[in-house]
Structure 1
Amino acid sequence: MAGIPLRKARTIIRKTLEAGHEMGLKPLSVIVLDEGGNVLAFEREDGSSPGRFQIAHGKAYGAVMMGVAGTAQLARAEAQPAFIAAVNAAFGGALVPVPGGILVRDGKGRVLGSVGVTGDTSDNDAAAGRAGIEAAGLVAEI
């Protein structure tokens, strides 16, 4: 498999939103990026604030461009804030280093792209995203 097919990107979004509903989360916004950081698909639920695209994108973009999921980025930001600030500057301020930025891998461990979820707490965003990715038959690294 080369990258995330659009059909699977749509499945990831649909299943992430369904998981959010089952968990009783606030309205979510979900983005799927390819392995180069390009947008494949995005949806923002009714009731989500308009800035959620940028937040979801920043979570997903940091994950795929650094090759490190949001949870690990947050730990790195706490341990080495100057490094994360420099990386964020290199990425034009697009990095949002918190949970909810999820790497998407295939069964062999290859990075296919990333998912960014925002709208509830970062940990809940990550859990909903994991459910969506796994429902699409892929591996989530949160």
Structure 2
Amino acid sequence: MISIRKARTIIKSALAKGKEMELKPLSVVVLDAGGHPIAFEREDGASPGRFEIARGKAYGAVMLGLPGSAQMARAENQAYFMGAMNGAFGGKVVPVPGGVLVKNRKGEVIGAVGVTGDTSENDAEAAVAGIEAAGLFADA
């Protein structure tokens, strides 16, 4: 389980990484293993629709057990599969980098982080930094 304290650390550290990298304003969400939000934060200047994008990145990761990078590859190679998955999940999946699985020491998926606001690759890098700062393990 990801505690609220760890979720807040993930968000704070992901946003700090974004500042260090001079990224556009980010939005970060942390979901539990069931896809439910634990915490969310949107930086000043980030568009209001970013919550849904961040959640969609993290939701796809946790529901499919695949990080956003793997989902994007799957979408490019098997569009019908990702289309079907998005249909099955009510259009909630955003299959691009920035959706990162969170694992414990045993390698078990305990949630996911979604970051949006800059390029998908930069979003993923910020998510990984946040997860690692909380003492957890990232699968981007």
- The 5-angstrom pairing of residues 63-142 of structure 1 reads 63-142=61-140
User: Aligned pair 1:18/2:16, yes or no?
Assistant: yes
Residue 81 of structure 1 deviates from its aligned partner by 0.1
1:59-79 deviation per Cα after TM superposition (whole angstroms, max 9, x unaligned):
000000000000000000001
Structure 1 consecutive aligned stretches of length 4 or more whose deviation exceeds 2 Å: none
Q: Unaligned stretches of 5+ in structure 2?
A: none
1:93-136 deviation per Cα after TM superposition (whole angstroms, max 9, x unaligned):
00000000000001110101000000000000000110010000
RMSD of equivalent CA atoms: 0.4
**How many percent of aligned residue pairs carry the same amino acid?**
67
Supply the distance in 2 between the matched residues of 1:11 and 1:40 (Cα, whole angstroms): 12
Residue type at the aligned position of 1:121: T
SS at the partner of 1:49?
Answer: coil
Supply the distance in 2 between the matched residues of 1:11 and 1:112 (Cα, whole angstroms): 16
Name 1:61's counterpart in structure 2: 59
Supply the distance in 2 between the matched residues of 1:89 and 1:49 (Cα, whole angstroms): 26
Name 1:50's counterpart in structure 2: 48
Q: Unaligned stretches of 5+ in structure 1?
A: none
TM-score with structure 1 setting the length: 0.98
Residue type at the aligned position of 2:113: V
